[in-house]
Amino acid sequence: MIERVYEVFATPRPRVVAHCDHCVDAASVAPFTTVPLRELTSGQVEKFWLKSGTIGDETFVRYLLPRVLDLIALGELEADFFWLRLAAEVHAKGDPQERSALQDYFLATPIALAGLVREGPDQGPLAEWLRQPEILAVLEESALAGPDPDGVLSEAHSKLEAQLSSK
């Protein structure tokens, strides 16, 4: 599924990434312009998180998003509020093909889906999509079928179940 995300969001590697010279040293930004997207390490990508607001723009976020989602699926980045907010913002502004690719990614990556339920948007197209019974079924199946680190999948399932039953 991640391959589809890379395809749909394919953008040439940036030649320059805007950044604040006072907040970020050039060495922290250099990998984004020299290293192929699929080869960026979680440590390099985390530099963006640590300096959010001082590195890149909306175009850069769209470029970086496939690698972020890939690293989440690999367990090298945590499916936390910051990364999921980026995905939600891209989803909200995306075309139908982009939205579909992101939704398919979340369905295929239960740990990211659980993070989205826990910390994702309360409003907007992605929040509406999360309220479908299919999402609840994916979380339930994942929680029962395999390892559930720290009960994350079960917790997200319970939260979503409570939200759906209160409607």
- Per DSSP, what are the bridge partners of residue 55? 19
Residue 32, C-beta contacts closer than 8 angstroms, at least 6 positions apart: 13, 14, 17, 40, 44, 48, 55, 56, 60, 64
pLDDT of amino acid 33? 87
* Nearest 10 degrees: Cα torsion 87, 152, 80, 64: -50
pLDDT tens, residue by residue, 128-162: 898 888 998 999 898 888 778 688 888 888 888 88
Amino acid 143: pLDDT:
86
- Split into its structural domains, the chain has a count of 1
| Residue range(s) defining the domain that contains residue 21 | 2-165
Q: Which residue has the tokens 């913002």?
A: 89
Answer for the pair 136, 164: CB distance below 8 angstroms, yes or no.
yes
> What does pTM read for this prediction?
0.88
What are residue 80's phi and psi, to 5 degrees? Answer: -105, 180
Spatial CA neighbour of 29 closest among 50, 12, 59, 5: 50
The reported pLDDT for the residue numbered 54 is: 58
